[in-house]
Every structure is written in C-alpha cells, then in structure tokens.
Amino acid sequence: MRLRKVKGAEEIVQNSDYVIKEPIMNKGRYKELFGNNNPIHLEIGVGKGKFIVEKALNCPDINFVGIEKYDSVLIRALEKVKDVKIPNLLFINDDASNVDAFFDREIDTLYLNFSDPWPKNRHEKRRLTSEKFLNKYELIFKKKPHIIMKTDNRKFFEYSLKSLVDKEYKIEKISLDLHEDNYPDNIMTEYEEKFGSKGSVIYMVEVIKE
Ligand SMILES: C[S@@+](CC[C@H](N)C(=O)[O-])C[C@H]1O[C@@H](n2cnc3c(N)ncnc32)[C@H](O)[C@@H]1O
C-alpha cells in the first residue's frame, strides 16, 4: 500500500475509543475489554477497515480485533465507525510482528486479507504467512488454529499454501476464483473490490490445524 502521511493521524488514533492504547498490557484481558466471553476473530493488516467493520456489524456475537501498523491508514477505518458504537470491534495500531505479545491464547479465527506479498526472497520473513509469523500465531489461538486468507497474488497464494501445509494445517475450503465460485457470504475488502473490479482473480483458502 502506497502510504501518504496524514497530518493529525497519530492523535486521532490515540484518542479513539476503538483503539487499544497499550496492547501488550492488555494481553489476556480481552474477555474484560469486550465484557463477554464471545469468540474473538482477528484481522491483521485491516487497511481502511471495510472488511472488519462489516463483519463486526453482521456478526454481533463475535468480537473482532483489527491490527494495522500505519496510523495514516487506520484513521480511514476509524472514520467509518466514528458516528456509531460497535461494541464488538477494537483496533490495535502496531506491527503484527508483536502479535504474540498482544494475545494469550484468546483468538479463534485469523483473517489475512490481501497481505503484502513481499516478493523478494530477502523479505520472506515479512510475509504474514512465513514460518516466522505462523510460529507466532500458534501462541495466540485459543484452540485449533484457524486461518482464512484471500489474495489476488498467485505466487503469494502458492507460497502461503506451502507454508501452511508445511506447518500441518489442513485445507478446509479453497477457491481459485472466489468471485466466480458460490460464496454469497463473502465480504469484500477495499483491495478485493479494487482488483476484483479490474478482473483480477481472487484466491481464498481456509485452513485449520488439529
Ligand atoms: C495490501 S493492504 C490490504 C488492506 C486490506 N486488508 C484490504 O484487503 O483492503 C495490506 C495492509 O496490511 C498492513 N500491514 C502489512 N504488514 C503489517 C504488519 N506486519 N502489521 C500490521 N499491519 C500490516 C499494511 O499497512 C496495509 O494497510
């Protein structure tokens, strides 16, 4: 994502009730933060937040946490919710490389939507489906690790499938053309709308680890 610094973004993010200010201090406290014991779904790299906001509105019995590392991007998600109170939605403005410091076996499902593919080999460790990240995710899931990813990048999709299967994830669902296949409940992300409308094929996989 090309990033334009937005003046005042840091302050807006810091003052938002939707944003967890000290995520490390809140590790293990999500039951208290949400005020219930509902399942928690996490999205890493929420971007402008369309997916997670719609998910939270559609599924009031699931709690949603979205991580986004750039405040200039996260404010676009916060703008979407500034006039509504969505009690089952929170955000973290930080790098997901710290994800295992934020959650203590509290997550039920992880969404990775149109993650940056980092195509150069020397950047492999930055990919959100690299072994490094998959090892961290193992520490955040409550029970069976459950990941749903979507991307328009074929090479990144193939890399991710191999990485997940190498870690003994089992494929529950897979689509090599999500918009052609019948997924009526699919909620589109900003990237998905943009690239889907230009004719890009969208890949999706849902995996679980016993
Ligand atoms: C290509 S965009 C996709 C945004 C959104 N998921 C969508 O599909 O429209 C990837 C987003 O992930 C964020 N991101 C990438 N790596 C991240 C990390 N390590 N921690 C948190 N956010 C990250 C980027 O800042 C960017 O907003």
d(CA 6, CA 10): 9
- Mean of the pLDDT values across residues 38-58? 98
Q: What torsion do the CA atoms of 62, 23, 78, 88 make, to the nearest 10 degrees?
A: 20
Residue 70 CB–ligand 1 contact under 6 Å: yes
Domain 9-208 has CATH 3.40.50.150: yes
pLDDT digits (tens, 9 = 90+) for 116-145: 999 999 999 999 999 999 999 999 999 999
Read off the pLDDT band of 13 (50, 70, 90).
Answer: very high
Inform me whether the pLDDT recorded for 156 exceeds 60. Answer: yes
116 belongs to the catalytic site: yes
Phi and psi at 197, nearest 5°, equal -70, -20
pTM above 0.75, yes or no: yes
CA distances 126 to 16, 107, 115, 153, Å, are: 28, 21, 10, 16
Q: Where are the domains of the chain?
A: 9-208
For 168, the 3-state DSSP assignment is: coil
Read off the pLDDT band of 89 (50, 70, 90).
Answer: very high
CA of 137 to the centre of ligand 1 (A): 16
- Mean of the pLDDT values across residues 19-42? 97
